A and B are shown apart, each in its own frame.
Chain A
Amino acid sequence: AQKVTQAQTEISVVEKEDVTLDCVYETRDTTYYLFWYKQPPSGELVFLIRRNSFDEQNEISGRYSWNFQKSTSSFNFTITASQVVDSAVYFCALSEDDTSGTYKYIFGTGTRLKVLA
């Protein structure tokens, strides 16, 4: 069965600190896709990154970096030198290459990040 676990419900950091958001997933498929989204207070989900199961290369985009490890079924997200504008709820999601071809998302419960000035 598909499942995404974000064990950290809420994290508070002081501005300029680094913070890592954890994501652990479960799937029986060999082909799948992982995503991170940001949901600011305005409510709209903003796409951050997509990873397929065959690409374990870590990625860096500005202050954001992602660590994908199939051995531990984890896809963690690190924000370096956090800023107040990073305050939001962050969701990890899983999509499978199943027979239905839907590619619907299974979301985690989200991690609320509060960056204090």
Chain B
Amino acid sequence: DTGVSQDPRHKITKRGQNVTFRCDPISEHNRLYWYRQTLGQGPEFLTYFQNEAQLEKSRLLSNRFSAERPKGSFSTLEIQRTEQGDSAMYLCASSLSGQGYEQFFGPGTRLTVL
């Protein structure tokens, strides 16, 4: 039984560099979410996919951020021209389709921008 996996677990980069994170959801889950969590705060919603379609994006997702979910399987989150304010834990979650199903979270990717 495999849960949600994320890669890498940790990423240290210099300001201005591009980074890409990967999320592999639970195989039968159609819904996929990205959240961002900063120290001492709860996770904040970034974006949502239903299969391969990106159906909602938070205003937190600036134009430097892009997410994809080709073929409705794994998803990638790319941050271009990273800034120190992008330092956070990036969490991926997946769930079944339908009303209010619980989301299952991956271990997260901790990004540090120097």
- A binding-site residues for B, Cβ under 8 Å: 4, 31-33, 35, 37, 42-47, 50, 52, 91, 93, 95, 97, 100-110
Contact = CB atoms under 8 A, between A and B. Distances in A.
Interface string B74-114: 00000000000000010101010001111111111010000
Which range contains the number of B residues in contact with the other chain?
Answer: 20 to 34
A91 B42 contact: yes
Nearest to B95: A103
B100 A107 contact: no
A24 to B, nearest CB: 14
10 contacts: A37-B105, A44-B106, A44-B107, A45-B91, A95-B100, A103-B31, A105-B43, A105-B103, A107-B43, A108-B42
Given A43-B107, A45-B91, A102 B100 contact: no
Interface of B: 31, 33, 35, 40-45, 48, 50, 55-56, 89, 91, 93, 95, 99-108, 110
Given A104-B33, A105-B43, A110-B42, A45 B105 contact: yes
Contacts of A35: 102
Given A100-B56, A104-B45, A109-B40, A44 B108 contact: yes
Given A31-B99, A50-B102, A110-B40, 17 more contacts: A4-B42, A43-B107, A44-B107, A45-B91, A47-B103, A47-B104, A50-B101, A52-B100, A100-B55, A100-B56, A103-B99, A104-B33, A104-B45, A105-B103, A107-B44, A110-B41, A110-B42
B57 to A, nearest CB: 10
Contacts of B91: 45
Contacts of A32: 100
Nearest to A103: B100
Most buried by B among A31, A52, A102, A104: A104
Nearest to A104: B45
Contacts of A97: 99-100
A52 B103 CA distance: 14
A39 B93 CA distance: 14
